[in-house]
């Protein structure tokens, strides 16, 4: 850059920023500070200060970074994603993950957009704090955020998933106690992108690392629903059977989403026998209600089958007859 000085060429704003970075690398941080100080006031702006901020954060100079941030804030040029990301990375490298979330909240307050790097660092901070539910909330927020961005959302979602993959593998390699909560976050993320094999691999590794002593019911339900949605009922049945075996003293009840996924699958396939077998499992688990019977009868109707004894069957099981169920009963009991 010195040849530009020699030839008295005019610098652009980005040229000044590049020179700050190069000066720091070649001559050290003090030389970069001196260079910024020597600039005319009109050139001390977002570009040059951001470059100096990056230098401070890279060298883990927290006090100087925060002081510069305060200066930039006074000048009204601190509201950039790059600045906040740099500070978050600084806090993570200094083993202060609890300082990341306040920065994210400040970004939201200032309407500063969160990018892939922001979300990744935010998730990493929660993982470091072993707050895996919060990791899941961040992942859900990413999906909601990207869903509003139109045609690029699929590419952005995929980028975030690979960021999650990197974070999860890093955590998995250093964790002293395996926590299934973070594995569930990774599984949910993969399944949201249709990456079933990757999700199953995470699950298999989790089972191996915990020696089968963890709680796998949430993961199994996610895998069941995805398998049914992709027409792999054998795989869903396998996870269902394992979940029933793993649950103790009736502690597990399939979620409404899981029940609906199974019964909708059987309705689509016109598989009355499959639906009846599933309902027997639900009865054993104590979660067979009016809603499930409605879906069962829809399967009968889809398959063109009737059962004159169905009304008596529901009466004996003390099932409340809703208007919808009554309408279905009239068709099935003919």
Q: Which stretches of the chain drop beneath a pLDDT of 70?
A: 1-17, 42-44, 146-163, 174-176, 212-214, 250
| In-domain check, residue 282 | yes
Task: Specify the pLDDT at position 130.
Answer: 79
> Rounded to whole angstroms, how far apart are CA atoms 72 and 189?
37
Angle at 193 between CA 187 and CA 197, to 5 degrees: 55
| In-domain check, residue 94 | no
Range of the structural domain that residue 282 is part of: 217-244+252-334
Overall domain count for the chain = 1
| In-domain check, residue 259 | yes
Task: Specify the pLDDT at position 278.
Answer: 96
Q: What are phi and psi of 248, to 5 degrees?
A: -120, 135
| In-domain check, residue 153 | no
> Rounded to whole angstroms, how far apart are CA atoms 59 and 289?
62
Task: Specify the pLDDT at position 110.
Answer: 94
| In-domain check, residue 6 | no
| In-domain check, residue 276 | yes
pTM, to two decimals = 0.62
* Residue appearing with tokens 């040229």: 15
Q: Is residue 1 within 8 Å of residue 22, measured between CB atoms? A: yes
> Rounded to whole angstroms, how far apart are CA atoms 227 and 334?
35
| In-domain check, residue 305 | yes
């Amino acid at each position: 850059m010195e040849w530009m000085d020699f030839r008295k060429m005019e610098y652009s704003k980005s040229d000044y920023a590049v020179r700050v970075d190069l000066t720091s690398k070649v001559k050290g941080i003090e030389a970069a500070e001196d260079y910024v100080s020597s600039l005319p006031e009109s050139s001390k702006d977002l570009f040059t200060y951001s470059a100096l901020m990056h230098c401070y954060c890279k060298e883990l100079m927290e006090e100087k970074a925060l002081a510069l941030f305060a200066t930039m804030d006074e000048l009204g040029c601190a509201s950039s994603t790059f600045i906040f990301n740099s500070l978050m990375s600084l806090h993570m490298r200094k083993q202060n993950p609890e300082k990341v979330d306040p920065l994210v909240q400040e970004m939201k307050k200032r309407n500063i957009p969160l990018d892939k790097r922001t979300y990744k660092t935010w998730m990493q901070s929660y993982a470091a704090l072993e707050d895996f539910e919060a990791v899941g909330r961040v992942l859900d927020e990413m999906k909601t955020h990207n869903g509003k961005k139109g045609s690029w959302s699929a590419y952005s979602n995929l980028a975030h998933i690979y960021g999650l993959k990197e974070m999860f593998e890093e955590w998995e390699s250093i964790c002293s106690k395996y926590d299934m909560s973070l594995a569930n976050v990774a599984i949910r993320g993969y399944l949201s992108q249709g990456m079933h094999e990757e999700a199953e691999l995470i699950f298999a590794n989790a089972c191996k690392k915990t020696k089968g002593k963890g709680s796998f019911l949430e993961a199994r339900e996610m895998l069941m629903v995805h398998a049914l949605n992709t027409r792999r009922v054998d795989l869903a049945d396998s996870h269902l059977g394992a979940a029933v075996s793993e649950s103790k003293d009736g502690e597990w009840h399939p979620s409404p989403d899981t029940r609906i996924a199974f019964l909708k699958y059987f309705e689509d396939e016109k598989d009355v026998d499959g639906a009846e077998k599933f309902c027997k499992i639900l009865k054993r688990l104590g979660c067979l209600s009016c809603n499930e019977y409605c879906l069962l009868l829809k399967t009968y109707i889809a398959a063109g089958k009737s059962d004159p004894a169905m009304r008596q069957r529901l009466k004996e099981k003390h099932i409340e007859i809703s208007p919808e169920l009554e309408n279905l009963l009239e068709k099935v009991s003919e």
